[in-house]
Amino acid sequence: MEAADEREQEEQRRREAIAAWHASGQSLQAWSEQTGQSYWQLRRWRLKYAEEVGIVLTRRAPRAQQLEKAGGASSPFAVVPVEIAASAAPMKASVSTAEIRLRGARSLIVATSIEATSLTRLIGAIERAP
């Protein structure tokens, strides 16, 4: 009987953790970092106990379906026209680079010596792409 009681107490602790996260209004990632609990463990518990603690979960459609609904292409990739101005100094073979993470799981690798205005225009063009 003790094992069943321990199991029920653990289940109740999990429900309370999910209810506390939901009441906090934070993202699951932020809550896991704040409390020190595993994000993936909380995520599993959220799926298992959501209904019991009054959380309504909605699932997003796959990306291809989202794009089709929006009237976009079936691929998340797009060709973006970018104008590249001639550089005053040729780039050396050992140029240091930086990776910039953009929305939509895009990333851009640029030379660290790139001018701010050029970088701003480039990011703007990429971000406006579908």
The helix (H) or strand (E) run that includes residue 18 is helix 2-24
Terminal C-alpha separation, the chain:
59
How much is the pLDDT for 73? 53
How much is the pLDDT for 41? 92
**Residue 77: which pLDDT band, with cuts at 50, 70 and 90?**
low
Give residue-wise pLDDT tens across range 113-127.
Answer: 888 888 888 888 887
Q: Decide if pLDDT at 39 tops 70.
A: yes
Q: What's the average model confidence in pLDDT over 13-42?
A: 90
Rg, the chain, Cα only:
23
Q: What's the average model confidence in pLDDT over 67-72?
A: 63
Please indicate whether residue 57 or residue 110 has the higher confidence score (pLDDT).
Answer: 110
**Residue 51: which pLDDT band, with cuts at 50, 70 and 90?**
confident
Are the C-beta atoms of residues 64 and 55 closer than 8 Å to each other? no
- In this structure, how many other beta carbons lie within 10 angstroms of the beta carbon of residue 21? 23
- Overall pTM > 0.75: no
